[in-house]
Each structure stands twice: as C-alpha cells, then as structure tokens.
C-alpha cells in the first residue's frame, strides 16, 4: 500500500524537492502541498494523509500549532517534523504536541525516505544528530506531574521494563533478544504500553519515559 504524504513547507522549491523525491518511490504518493500551517491543517482534515511532512517555521500558523491540531483531530495521520540544528526547543515542543519524529532538513534522501517509512509504520523517527541534545533537555524539564506518575504506576513490572528498552532505542527484535522473549510477545507488550499510556507510537513512549523520570538522560533506568 502506498504511503500518502502531505508536504507542508513555506518554500516552494523545498516542497518541490521533497515531492520529487517521494513520488519517485513506488510506495509513496504526495497527496497535497501546503505553504502555511492553517492550510496544512485544512488539507490534512480533507485528505486524511498517512503522514504530514511538517516544517516548523511558516508564516501565519506555525508548524507546532498545526501539528497539535492535526494530531488532535486524527489518530491516523502522523507528523514528521523538519528541523535544523538551532531549532531543538521547537522540536521538543512539536514532539510533545504529537509529532512522531523529526528530521534534519539537510538529511540525505535515503534518510528522509527511511524516516517516512518508519513513522508510517508506527516506529517513529528521531534524528541522531540532535537526539542527545533533546534528551539532555528532558532532564531539565518541569517536575513530574501526578497524572504522569499515575500513568506510569499503571504499568506492570514487565511493561515498565519494555518501556525502558523502547526509550533507549531498541527494536522489538533487540528487546526480545535482551529479555529472552518471542517477537510476538514483545509486540503485545509494546502495544499494551502504548494503549495504557494513551500514546500513538514509540517516539511518544520515549518522551514519556524521560518526562516521567523512568530513565535518566544517560539512558539508564532510575529504578
């Protein structure tokens, strides 16, 4: 099945470049292009794409607000945010707003395509070059809320273990190997974690793990 993508960026040449890369792939289709955040929100509601490739800085409604509105309106449409090195704070807010990943604008085409496929499959996508800086920011965030603590306490011991390993970047296969579990069993546990916490994908699970204090910025569990 083709991944239906909406491209949102205020620069015409950038949109055209992304569209050209995506339409060359047999498993991707560009269903629309938007130059502003409000247009992206309207088109996402009308076209119901699988994924929105979202620029953060756009005239009028920015990508942060657009991401929040799109993910609130649809649990099906995922957002992959485009960023540069100096936009880490914006990326963090975009992820909290519901984005399923972020990618540097100067990424190679192969990285872009892999990120889109990963996000569409529910795995999310985090650009390694800025992940460390974002994780460090998590450690300096606000105190853990009672709601977050309650949600974390709703998980079983095994589910907390699974969440910790997801947040450290391990795949389901790697988690299964680490814990001696069948791949199908790991998938069941991951789905249970996401459902209990009301999260849409592994990226959101990673954010929750850091914000809840389950793991430290070093990637080691706190308990």
Q: What is the pLDDT of residue 94?
A: 79
**Residue pointed to by tokens 């299964």:** 176
Structure tokens belonging to residue 220: 């080691």
Mean pLDDT of all residues belonging to the chain: 85
Q: What is the pLDDT of residue 52?
A: 96
Sheet holding 101-104, edge to edge: 28-34, 3-8, 51-55, 78-83, 101-104, 125-126
Rounded to 5 degrees, φ, ψ at 25 are -90, 140
Query: Please, what's the largest Cα pairwise distance for the chain?
Result: 51
Structure tokens belonging to residue 6: 């909406």
Q: Is the pLDDT of residue 220 over 60?
A: no
State how far the Cα of 109 lies from the Cα of 112, in Å rounded to an integer: 5
Per mean pLDDT, which range of 1-5, 37-41, 213-217 is the poorest? Answer: 213-217
Residue 200: closest CA among 60, 91, 71: 71
Question: What is the phi-psi region of residue 198: left when phi exceeds 0, alpha when psi lies from -120 to 50, beta otherwise?
Answer: left
Is 43 in contact with 32 (CB distance < 8 Å)?
yes
Q: What is the pLDDT of residue 143?
A: 59
Interval 167-201: pLDDT, tens? 887 888 899 999 999 999 999 999 999 999 988 88
Report how far apart, in Å, the C-alpha atoms of 137 and of each of 57, 73, 131, 156 are.
21, 28, 10, 28
Interval 113-157: pLDDT, tens? 988 998 888 776 666 555 556 665 655 555 566 777 788 889 999
Q: Is the pLDDT of residue 103 over 90?
A: no
Rounded to 5 degrees, φ, ψ at 46 are -80, -40
């Amino acid at each position: 099945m083709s991944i239906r993508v909406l491209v949102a960026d205020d620069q015409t040449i950038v949109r055209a470049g992304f569209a050209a890369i995506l339409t060359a792939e047999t498993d991707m289709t560009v269903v629309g292009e938007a130059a502003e955040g409000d247009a992206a929100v309207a088109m996402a509601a009308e076209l119901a794409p699988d994924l929105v490739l979202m620029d953060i800085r756009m005239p009028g409604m920015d990508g942060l607000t657009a991401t929040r509105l799109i993910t609130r309106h649809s649990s099906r449409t995922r957002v992959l945010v485009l960023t540069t090195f100096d936009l880490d704070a914006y990326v963090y807010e975009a992820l909290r707003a519901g984005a399923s990943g972020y990618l540097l604008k100067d990424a190679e085409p192969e990285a872009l395509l892999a990120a889109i496929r990963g996000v569409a499959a529910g795995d999310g996508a985090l650009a390694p070059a800025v992940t460390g800086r974002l994780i460090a920011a998590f450690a300096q965030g606000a105190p853990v809320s009672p709601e977050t603590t309650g949600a974390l306490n709703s998980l079983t011991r095994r589910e907390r273990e699974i969440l910790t390993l997801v947040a450290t970047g391990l795949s389901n296969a790697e988690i299964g190997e680490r814990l001696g579990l069948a791949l199908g069993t790991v998938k069941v546990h991951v789905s249970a974690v996401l459902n209990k916490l009301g999260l849409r994908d592994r990226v959101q699970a990673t954010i929750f793990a850091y914000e809840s204090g389950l793991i430290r910025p070093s990637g080691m569990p706190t308990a």
